[in-house]
């Protein structure tokens, strides 16, 4: 986690150090306090021997990507600070850099990442011209060069600047919203795709466009936020519905304190209410579920519910074409 506010030859920034610290807090633990990533926070200093120079950052990056992939499943590299560009690509500006002279080339970072044995690597850049990461400047095209397992989240495309506000970099603020639940699925899982989508929704401004570049089979979970429904409960959708188009009949037997109450039906009803709260089922004319049961009407899966049904059933019914 790298954050640089102070520069020897460039204008200072307000929030890069805060951004790095906030990302460290968000990524170090899951919502329940369990350990997530072991974060190494690297921030700028006024003391000459503690400054983030080009040499220091380059060495830290090499050491980071040289970790043993047999012991680490996933790793995140984050940078917040100034960025610049030249005909040779983009650069992360260190405290001692003068434009791209002295900065760390994103191409060098990409080489380190591509050569790393760590299976899953996520690179997050909140700086100007961050979109250079992953492209091949000599080809003058948008072609990317990422080995399998690498994801790059950039605050802007390769010709745009990145903005910061009173509370931090706008891109980082969007990622923090995502990590803390805005980007989570029903079971609370946040991955790079959902972080990117949240950032795009948050940054609906034409002069800063987040970019996502990836070469992955499955996006790893970046953080577990608080689930809206447990995986166990979600998995029961295939037990309550025999097929995705079923119209499930309800009755008073599903209701507590009714003359016709049946314990197992009441348990099913509690689960159906959870499905309803998460837009997985629907009732006629959007009636409350209790009223639907009182009137002995049917409920059915929504499009989102059908998707989850197929998602849960797919491993059981898949076969080669």
Provide the pLDDT for residue 233.
Answer: 94
Whether 180 and 298 share a structural domain: no
What does the alpha-carbon distance between residue 216 and residue 191 come to, in Å, rounded to a whole number?
12
> Please, which pLDDT band fits residue 319 given cuts at 50, 70 and 90?
low
Q: What is the DSSP letter of 81?
A: S
pLDDT by residue (tens digit) across 157-180? 988 999 998 889 999 999 999 999
- Which range marks the domain in which residue 298 is found? 231-317
Helices (H), the chain: 16-28, 54-65, 106-115, 170-177, 192-202, 231-235, 237-240, 263-277, 289-294, 303-317
Same domain assignment for residues 11 and 87: yes
| pLDDT reported for residue 40 | 95
Same domain, 202 and 254: no
SS3 265: helix
**For 181, which DSSP code?**
I
> Considering only CA atoms, which of 125, 120, 122 is closest in space to residue 104?
125
212 & 279 share domain: no
Q: Which of 224, 242, 265 is the last residue of a domain?
A: 224
| Stretch among 68-77, 87-96, 127-136, 307-316 having the lowest mean pLDDT | 307-316
| 203 and 281 inside one domain | no
**Total count of domains within the chain:** 2
pLDDT on residue 264: 73
Claim to verify: residue 241 and residue 183 sit in the same structural domain:
no
pLDDT of 313 reads 78
Strands 74-80, 120-126: pairing is parallel
In 3D, which of 213, 210, 189 has the Cα closest to residue 201? Answer: 210
* CATH code of 16's domain: 3.40.50.1460
pLDDT of amino acid 262: 65
Specify whether 142 is located in the same domain as 175: yes
| Residues 158 and 285 reside in one and the same domain | no
Beta-strand relationship, 211-215 and 150-154:
antiparallel
- Residue 48: predicted pLDDT: 79
For 130-170, give the DSSP string: GGGTTB-GGGTSS-B---TTEEEEESS-TT----EETTEEH
Residues 216 and 278 in one domain: no
- In a shared domain, residues 182 and 313: no
Cα separation, 250 vs 258, in Å, equals 13
Contact 173, 202 (CB under 8 A): yes
Question: Which residue among 196, 224, 252 closes a domain?
Answer: 224
State the average pLDDT over residues 192-206.
90
Rounded to the nearest 10°, the torsion over CA 175, 176, 182, 183 is 40
- CA gap 4, 50 in Å, rounded: 12
State whether residue 215 is helix, strand or coil: strand
CATH of the domain at 311: 1.10.10
* Same-domain pairing of 189 and 249: no
Per-residue model confidence as pLDDT tens digits over 80-123: 999 998 888 899 999 999 866 668 999 999 999 999 999 999 99
**The pairing of beta strand 150-154 with beta strand 42-43:** unpaired
User: Where among 168, 202, 224 does a domain terminate?
Assistant: 224
Mean pLDDT estimate for the chain = 90
- What would the 3-class secondary structure string for 216-249 be? CCCCCEEEECCCCCCHHHHHCHHHHCCCCCCEEE
Which tens digits make up the pLDDT trace of 229-287?
999 999 999 999 999 999 999 998 888 876 665 677 888 999 999 999 999 999 999 99
Record the tokens describing residue 84, joined without a space.
């610049």
- pLDDT confidence of residue 259: 65
Residues recorded for the chain = 321
Q: Which two tokens stand for residue 177?
A: 């919203």
- Average pLDDT score over residue span 197-215: 89
């Amino acid at each position: 986690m790298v954050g640089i506010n102070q520069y020897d030859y460039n204008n200072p920034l307000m929030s890069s150090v805060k951004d790095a610290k906030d990302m460290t807090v968000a990524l170090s633990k899951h919502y329940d306090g369990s350990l997530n990533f072991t974060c190494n926070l690297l921030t700028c200093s006024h003391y000459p021997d503690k400054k983030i120079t080009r040499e220091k950052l380059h060495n830290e990056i090499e050491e980071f990507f040289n970790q043993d992939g047999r012991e680490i499943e996933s790793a995140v590299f984050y940078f917040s600070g100034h960025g610049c560009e030249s005909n040779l690509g983009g650069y992360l500006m260190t405290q001692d850099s003068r434009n791209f002279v002295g900065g760390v080339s994103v191409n060098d970072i990409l080489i380190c990442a591509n050569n790393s044995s760590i299976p899953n690597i996520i690179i997050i850049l909140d700086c100007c011209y961050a979109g250079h990461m992953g492209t091949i400047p000599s080809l003058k095209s948008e072609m990317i060069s990422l080995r399998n397992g690498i994801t790059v989240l950039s605050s802007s495309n390769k010709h745009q600047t990145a903005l910061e506000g009173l509370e931090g970099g706008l891109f980082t603020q969007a990622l923090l919203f995502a990590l803390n639940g805005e980007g989570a699925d029903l079971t609370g899982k946040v991955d790079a795709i959902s972080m990117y989508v949240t950032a795009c929704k948050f940054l609906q401004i034409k002069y800063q466009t987040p970019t996502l570049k990836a070469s992955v089979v499955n996006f790893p979970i970046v953080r577990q936020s608080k689930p809206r429904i447990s995986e166990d409960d979600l998995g029961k959708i295939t037990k309550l519905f025999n097929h995705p188009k079923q119209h499930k009949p309800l009755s008073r037997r599903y209701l507590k304190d009714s003359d016709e109450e049946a314990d197992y039906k009441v348990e099913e009803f509690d689960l159906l209410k959870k499905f309803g709260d998460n837009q997985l089922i629907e009732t006629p004319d959007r009636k409350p579920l209790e009223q639907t049961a009182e009137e002995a009407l049917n409920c059915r899966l929504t499009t989102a519910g059908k998707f989850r049904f197929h998602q849960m059933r797919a491993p059981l019914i898949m076969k080669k074409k």
